[in-house]
Amino acid sequence: MKTRAAVAVAAGKPLEIMEVNLDGPRAGEVLVEIKATGLCHTDEFTRSGDDPEGIFPAILGHEGAGVVIEVGEGVTSLEVGDHVIPLYTPECRECEYCLNPKTNLCQKVRATQGQGLLPDGSTRFSMLDGTPIHHYMGCSTFANHTVVPEIALAKVRKDAPFDKICYIGCGVTTGIGAVINTARVEIGSRCVVFGLGGIGLNVIQGLRMAGCDQIVGVDLNDEKEKMGRHFGMTDFVNPSTVEGDIVAHLVELTKGGADYTFDATGNVKVMRQALECAHKGWGESIIIGVAPAGAEISTRPFQLVTGRVWRGTAFGGAKGRTDVPKIVDWYMDGKIEIDPMITHKLTLDEINHGFDLMHQGKSIRAVVEF
Ligand SMILES: NC(=O)C1=CN([C@@H]2O[C@H](COP(=O)(O)OP(=O)(O)OC[C@H]3O[C@@H](n4cnc5c(N)ncnc54)[C@H](O)[C@@H]3O)[C@@H](O)[C@H]2O)C=CC1
Ligand SMILES: N[C@@H](CCC(=O)N[C@@H](CSC=O)C(=O)NCC(=O)O)C(=O)O
Ligand SMILES: [Zn+2]
Ligand SMILES: [Zn+2]
């Protein structure tokens, strides 16, 4: 079949909107009509050329929702008409990672996924002249239709709006999951969140659900304060207006250091600040942000010797086929809020404007509706 897609033709170039070829689903695969997709900073990270795994040409996008159009041979858990959210962290329920409750990092298809291919080692997308186009994070939701492994699709209820629940495919689950699955924050905690974008605001929403006493938000952009407070932030700090050391300032503000801190910026200097403003003896710092090729984190080992813990999280530690349908229910039941974070709606033709808005700090989530 043919479908329309935004193609990342080369690192650092705007996406090109074009008609592409899409082969049908093979064994264990599913053809999905994407109805809506969010633009996450990770898409921009790869588009820009910062991603060491970036491959071009590729169809980016990993925060989508849609409808099953066709199933390949042997697919048993999904049928035509099901509503689904593609998962960049699949859940095969068989590999040693899936069988270990300590991780969500299913490895069943990770090797081929990182090479921009489906599990059989091939791509379903190509340009009209036959040039192969790579998949991205196993999802490629910047296409009106995509082919995804069955194990990388969460089946969700049919009454949930695509233009909101697409965000559960990454940002919502990552932020809330970092709090409840990775950090396991206790009631009454004091916390600091660096970066009040599409991920950090969901960390804040998760911290409010967890019953924190203090939720400090840190961002260079003052315009993020209002939304942070809406989602439960109690204190806002703009590091550019702090006189002296930002770490000392945050330690004082949290009365000795935070119980939990979260980096949602992807900046390795900020990651160090996040670790060092965690409380001596027990504070934990969770890295969510994705840093460019070549970037490295550093701190004095003394910071860890004296009881701070440095951890990371992918997709908020969520096991996608199990947890994502529950998060959709939370949204539909009013337990979590998504709508105010969808600040812009775009057509596929306007997708590059979505990345401009991200750079200008004007959007939280821009969503493309097909
Ligand atoms: N580990 C995971 O599973 C996931 C990681 N990510 C990563 O999380 C990070 C955040 O993603 P989004 O929220 O979508 O990005 P975003 O662009 O919406 O938000 C980033 C925020 O950080 C702020 N910021 C930037 N530099 C800062 C600094 N030095 N100090 C304080 N604030 C600063 C910006 O003003 C902005 O508000 C990215 O690195 C992204 O790649 C995203 C999704 C999942
Ligand atoms: N390709 C990058 C790593 C990017 C990365 O860490 N991705 C996260 C999800 S970010 C979503 O918006 C992730 O799930 N990581 C686990 C994984 O197995 O990729 C690089 O090579 O640095
Ligand atoms: Zn993402
Ligand atoms: Zn698995």
Give average pLDDT by consecutive 10-residue segment, the chain, 370 residues. Answer: 98 98 98 98 98 98 98 98 98 98 98 98 98 98 98 98 98 98 98 98 98 98 98 98 97 98 98 98 98 97 98 98 98 98 98 98 98
Pocket test for ligand 2, best of 62, 105, 286, 290 (most atoms within 8 A of CB): 290
Pairing of strands 2-7, 83-86: unpaired
Determine whether the shortest distance from the Cβ of 136 to ligand 2 is under 6 A.
no
Residue 58: closest CA among 116, 138, 98? 116
Q: How far is the CA of 324 from the centre of ligand 3 (A)?
A: 14
Query: Is residue 63 flagged as an active site residue?
Result: yes
Ligand in nearest proximity to the CA of 170: 3
Q: Which among 170, 191, 212, 277 is annotated as catalytic?
A: 170
Determine whether the shortest distance from the Cβ of 197 to ligand 1 is under 6 A.
yes
Residues with Cβ < 8 Å from 310, sequence gap 6 or more? 275, 284, 285, 287, 297, 299, 304
Residue nearest to ligand 1 atom 26, measured at CA: 265
The pLDDT assigned to 90 comes to 98
The pLDDT assigned to 175 comes to 98
Q: Which among 41, 134, 190, 279 is annotated as catalytic?
A: 41
DSSP, res 104: -
How far the first Cα of the chain sits from its last, in Å, is 17
Query: Is residue 44 flagged as an active site residue?
Result: no
- CATH architecture of the domain formed by 2-171+317-369: Alpha-Beta Complex (3.90)
The pLDDT assigned to 157 comes to 98
Determine whether the shortest distance from the Cβ of 51 to ligand 2 is under 6 A.
yes
The pLDDT assigned to 293 comes to 94
- Alpha carbon of 11 to those of 8, 17, 53, 335, 349: distances in Å? 7, 16, 12, 39, 19
Query: Is residue 41 flagged as an active site residue?
Result: yes
The pLDDT assigned to 123 comes to 98
Query: Is residue 212 flagged as an active site residue?
Result: no
What phi and psi, each to the nearest 5 degrees, are found at residue 77?
-90, -5
Determine whether the shortest distance from the Cβ of 266 to ligand 1 is under 6 A.
yes
Does the predicted model carry a pTM greater than 0.95? Answer: yes
Q: Which residue has the tokens 């539909």?
A: 332
- The strands making up 260-263's β-sheet, listed across from edge to edge, are 235-237, 214-218, 190-194, 260-263, 284-287, 309-312
The pLDDT assigned to 178 comes to 99
Residue spans per domain, the chain: 2-171+317-369, 183-312
Query: How far is residue 365's CA from residue 370's CA, in Å, rounded to a whole number?
Result: 16
The pLDDT assigned to 256 comes to 98
Q: Which among 3, 37, 40, 135 is annotated as catalytic?
A: 40
Distance of CA 244 to the CA centre of its chain: 33
Residues with Cβ < 8 Å from 80, sequence gap 6 or more? 68, 69, 70, 71
The CATH homologous superfamily for domain 183-312 is: NAD(P)-binding Rossmann-like Domain (3.40.50.720)
